Amino acid sequence: MKSAIVIRHVHFEDLGAFAAVLDHGGYRIRYLDVGQDPVSADDAAAADLLVVLGGPIGAYEDDHYPFLVDELTAIGRRLAAGRPILGVCLGAQLIARALGARVYPGPAKEIGWAPLQLSAAGRRGPLASLEAVPVLHWHGDTFDLPAGAVRLASTPVTPNQAFSFGDRVLALQFHPEADGAGFERWLIGHAGEIASTPGITVGGLRDQAALCAARAGAAGRLCLAAWLEALDASA
């Protein structure tokens, strides 16, 4: 059985819709909960897949959150070895930083469900299933496109919503793993941010999820399955 180490920063931002795809693909999933479990670069390097999930901190805040140094070390080692990495939100930002790109506050927060604009490369690859599908966005930071990376998706606020680096690294600023299951936990966990963000309300996000989440989750599962299939083909 293949192994997947999943770095989780807050408990409610888990694999979501992605868990079933990894299970079906024959991966044994092991979560590392930051702040509780040490992030070992050796363990992360040995896994068949490393997944780095989201969280409400900045990828550049290692002065406040020293564990980010361990995560960046683990990501850097896998990049150097050409081993598969999937990053979601904060995970994508950490991959960008490990590749030498700048991560910084964006011009505005994106919170809610909205479609992506896929690049030509995005439409040719695993993200094709996400075309015209409203997906969950929940971020205030953004990043420059790393040297050698290929932009896969954008939004009007965030030009770099997704990129690939070679055929074994996929970084997603948005949340294609969010399928509505457990979304109430997001509303609780991010209550402070929701209350302080103009134009965003708990009720509005809940209503959006009811309309969009199931379709987004189905498209997200197809996206991950296609990427894993490409990984297997290139192994």
Q: What residues are annotated to the active site?
A: 89, 175, 177
Q: How far apart are CA 46 and CA 41, in angstroms?
A: 9
Residue 67, Cβ density class (10 Å: 0-12 exposed, 13-18 middle, ≥19 buried): middle
Helix and strand counts by DSSP (H, E) for the chain: 8, 10
E strands within the chain? Answer: 2-8, 27-33, 49-52, 85-88, 103-114, 117-118, 135-143, 150-154, 162-164, 169-172
Amino acid in the structure at residue 75? I
- The β-bridge relationship of strands 49-52 and 2-8 is parallel
